[in-house]
Structures are given as C-alpha cells and as structure tokens.
Amino acid sequence: MRDIFVIGDSISIQYGPYLSEQLAGDWGYDRKQGDAQALIDLDQPLGANGGDSSMVLAYLKSVEALGTKYDILLLNCGLHDIKTNLVTGSKQISLEQYRHNISDIVDKACKMSNSFVWIRTTDVIDHIHNAKSRNFHRFHADVLDYNAAADAIMQERGIPILDLYGFSRKLGEAAFCDHVHYTDEVRKLQAAFITGYLYAKFADA
C-alpha cells in the first residue's frame, strides 16, 4: 500500500475528505494537520492550510529537521501568494520570490519523499472573487503567471504536474460556492480527478 501526504491550501482541505474516501483500502492518506483551526477562516492560512510558498517552505524545513519522510507527496501553493493588497497593489509573495521559494520547495520535497507530484493552483474569476473579497483581491492573470512559473521549474526538474487548474476551470463559474472555493459536488469531482491520476501514475509501483 502506498501512502499519500498532502500539503496545500483550503481547496485541498475541502476535497481532502473525498480524496481519502476514494483512496481507502488501496492507499494511505494523511495531510498537514489542523483542520479545525483552518476551517475557522479559510482565507487565513492556519493549521491544515499550507498558506503561501514561504509558509510551505518553512513547514517543510521544520518537519525535515524532525526526520520526516514521505512516500508520495502531493503539494500546492499559489492562491495565498497572489493575494493583492487593495491599496498598494502588491502581491503577498512577488512572482520573483515565488520562483525562488518553489525551487527551494522542490529541493526539499525531492529529498523528503519517494515521489513528489506538484498540483497546479486552481482558478480565480476576477469579477466573482473581487466582488466578494473585501480584504484583498486576486486576479486570473496572476494564477496564469504563477502557474507558469511553477510549471517551468517542475518541467526543468522532471517533476510530475497534476493539472487541477485545467480540470476545475472547465467546470465554469457555477463551480464556485464563494469567491474562490468550490461547491461540494465539485470537490468530489476534484478528488476523483486526483484519484484517477494517482491510480494511473502509480499503477505499477
């Protein structure tokens, strides 16, 4: 039996129970802990919410120091990085810093896992998100830029990319239940998409 460990944002917290259910019996499932803390406010990266790329890198460094090793590591960050200040227009993590962080994350993830899979950051619809989010904005153009930056690093390093962005975007605007999160039905579909990918990729492992 292979074991999956997930580090990701609130999107992964919401599809997580369905992913665990769909993998049950054939795969072990675990993730960064603290669901109750994270669910208080999904916009605040606490507990199980991995947060931005600097937070993910810090988390990996902290657990690496404890000797943590993963079998298959599924990892994503990006939505918190592209949070845009309403006054200054600055990103929480600049694109340049994101590139540096992702490169360092790949270094850590490869050392700490038998297999590492990168999950592309999910979509933002500007007029939906920014009409509902009063503390910060996000923009689709940034999702594209930050995904492209991560894609380039993964391709250069030979890291598999799971395109949850492409899968979810095809479901359209009705897929969203709020500014950036998905309906329960879509969470089930996202979990099924990831499950199918894992069975296909690691069928012979």
Rounded Cα gap, residues 6 and 74, in angstroms: 5
Please give the pLDDT value at position 89: 96
> How do residues 86-141 score in pLDDT, each as one tens digit?
999 999 999 999 999 999 999 999 999 999 999 999 999 999 999 999 899 999 99
- Domains within the chain, CATH numbers bracketed: 2-201 (3.40.50.1110)
Dihedral of alpha carbons 105, 191, 152, 133, sign? negative
Please give the pLDDT value at position 137: 97
Beta bridge partners of 70: 113
Q: Which residues contact 62 (CB under 8 A, 6 or more apart)?
A: none
Please give the pLDDT value at position 134: 86
> How do residues 42-81 score in pLDDT, each as one tens digit?
898 999 999 999 999 999 999 999 999 999 999 999 999 9
Structure tokens at 171: 């479901």
